[in-house]
Structure 1
């Protein structure tokens, strides 16, 4: 999105409904990053600060916000802000979350944030949440079917078969979605799925490479997670290749897409394709 709706631009009825939960709002500060919500702001209110986000109840973003509301009760409270209330009023859907302190995680080599991020990921990986309608394997297979053939396609096609599982998967663990203070908290659960326990660590491997880690160094970091450590080598190589197929057309030229290519090439060089 190119711009957001400000607090004072929301319909009167929507603001009144929100203030029914928060008390009078005397200040609203929009974040400088992220554009997936038509409205997002830290609300300073009589009953204390709250983070509020949302959009049109029938708009394209509504699915994301409903996804977040659905999964929030299953996410451990010490690693994700609690959903405090939900407002549907005058065609708007807004969610009010616990306001938590923190800055965006720094993932570069040697960062003191890395152990905190790992602690949060271990807790996420321990959550079982089997929901057949949100299997990441099915989503991945459908998405890959729409991509054109590339040098990575043979490997990428193998990824979905390895992605099934009953672990809660955030699927978008980038630094903007990880807030660090005394611990790391993970926000923006709009794209959560159910799948294999290695998937979230594998997503972070790409982010580590984009932040300056060598592929082998990033992979070594990820072996602290049992799901990743025990995953078949083919699963990780196929996943890396699938990221290139899915991201280069949509996000070509970005640092994270370049990192995905570096990782896939690193793995494919060590494990050349065979008939399987």
Structure 2
């Protein structure tokens, strides 16, 4: 999972204890396993410092996010500050490629997108690193507050305007992503999954059918972030920055809002229907939203049953928490018993 590009705070999420419950009270932190600056090999630190143009005198590891590598705010001896994220190929086989993909994306984003300034990347000796401006900001408060929600919603609306149509082509559309990657209910049905909570198990065939409709209902020409949640947002005074951009796809802007809604509820914010009421969805069919919610719920619920990826031991609990919030929302929307 992606990591942020600047300050990380010790936020936690809250979850239910069953597949379709409606109260969220058990903390699940959005944290992985970080590598500290002093644990980077000396020759690699020296290479980074050469690119930075000075010696690092302070490095503060940022705890939230799931990337199994370095994510640190750096201060140089001349007082300049940067944010550096870096990973070695041995930490996780997928993360270097994710960093490379993010470097290509942030280098191509327009200057008026709400993104920290990307400065350079490094890709040598098995290490991949990205350097950004250091944003002196914070994550949204938990519980979510109305002022933070207003700032974030305004930013997401503005971001949709800036990124519609997409400023560059993508490798994948949201429809293709839904069809081939986040089709959890169909996978669970096909393999006879027996670890689902009762509501999910009893409605599995209907869930798989609704999920199968989603790819045909999410056509659009906007560039989507596809991983918007509190630990990928930074608030600096009245400005919000959206960070961690490796997962961009082409689709309708509202899919990003639907994808964020369960995490807002999970982290003691408004329930998904309340959150979504802050956006104009007048042209979006209810069936399309139902299918997208179903798809996102299936992704989190079923993916959380798998063993954790190498170097990311905490991500499954976080996915399970989002899955429970998404399923509670889906039960409300469908009325299925």
TM-score, structure 1 normalization? 0.87
1:113 to 107, 131, 148: 148
2:121 to 72, 86, 96: 86
| Offset, 1:77 | 4.8
The answer to whether the aligner puts 1:24 opposite 2:80 as a matched pair is no
The answer to whether the aligner puts 1:68 opposite 2:102 as a matched pair is yes
| Offset, 1:86 | 1.0
1:75·1:124 contact (CA, 8 Å) conserved in 2? no
Q: Which residue of 2 aligns with 1:148?
A: 188
1:1-276 aligned at under 5 Å gives the runs: 3-22=33-52, 23-46=54-77, 48-56=80-88, 59-72=93-106, 73-77=108-112, 79-106=114-141, 108=143, 110-126=145-161, 127=163, 128-129=165-166, 131-143=169-181, 144=183, 147-149=187-189, 150=204, 151-182=206-237, 183-210=239-266, 211-223=268-280, 228-251=281-304, 254-269=320-335
| Offset, 1:108 | 4.9
How many angstroms apart in 2 are the aligned matches of 1:186 and 1:26?
Answer: 27
| Offset, 1:2 | 5.7
How many angstroms apart in 2 are the aligned matches of 1:175 and 1:75?
Answer: 22
Unpaired runs of 5+ residues, structure 1, are none
Unpaired runs of 5+ residues, structure 2, are 1-30, 190-203, 306-316
TM-score, structure 2 normalization? 0.72
**Secondary structure, aligned partner of 1:32:** coil
CA RMSD of aligned residues (A): 2.3
1:4·1:40 contact (CA, 8 Å) conserved in 2? yes
Q: Relative to structure 1, is the Cα distance of residues 107 and 162 closer, same or farther in structure 2, using a 3 angstrom cutoff?
A: farther
Which has the larger displacement, 235-244 or 139-148? 139-148
2:32·2:68 contact (CA, 8 Å) conserved in 1? no
Aligned length: 266
2:32·2:63 contact (CA, 8 Å) conserved in 1? no
How many angstroms apart in 1 are the aligned matches of 2:113 and 2:221?
Answer: 21
| Offset, 1:136 | 2.0
Q: Which has the higher contact order (CA 8 A, sep 6+)?
A: 2
